[in-house]
Amino acid sequence: MRLFIAIQLTDELQAALTETMHQCKKAGVKGSYAPKQNLHLTLAFLGEVKDAQPVRDLMNRFTFKPFKLALSGTGAFGDIVWAGVKGNQGLAAAVKDLRAALDAAGIDYDRKKFTPHITLIRRAAGRWQGVSAPKGEMMVKSISLLKSEVKDGKRIYTEI
């Protein structure tokens, strides 16, 4: 199964991000828009995992100090449009500690440099830069292990 560890967003943040995506659509931006319920902030992408139990065990033991997460602007990686997150020591510490725990447990994950972002549109084509950036913040008190699967042609994320 395909797994990742992420922060699930509050309804308030999902609504703010959805409004930004609606503005992009009105501006004529084409692409694959993320469904509201799939909006999240990935902390560690694990990819295909045969046995999720070691990851579940790690997540049951993992603790971190709650922190505030605030949206900050928009940007792009090639044809992927994303919403940014304000620089944050709490987030940086949680990611560092999570990745150290994954390393200690011998659990493989994508080791790319962590760049906090929330993917809004994949394969984006059009001018999105004039769209107003989403605003909002939330307290992060939990981190989730999520499974990614395709059902009826749609990507579904389920907490496990």
Model confidence over 98-133: pLDDT tens digits? 999 999 999 999 999 999 999 999 999 998 888 888
**Residue 147: beta bridge partners?**
3, 158
- pLDDT value at position 132? 85
CATH code that applies to domain 2-159: 3.90.1140.10
Beta strand residue intervals within 35-95, DSSP E: 40-48, 67-77, 80-85
| pTM reported for the whole predicted model | 0.92
Mean pLDDT of the chain, nearest integer: 95
Would the pLDDT of 38 be above 90? yes
Distance between CA atoms of 35 and 80, rounded to whole angstroms? 15
Mean pLDDT of 9-33: 95
Nearest-CA neighbor of 35 among 23, 18, 10? Answer: 18
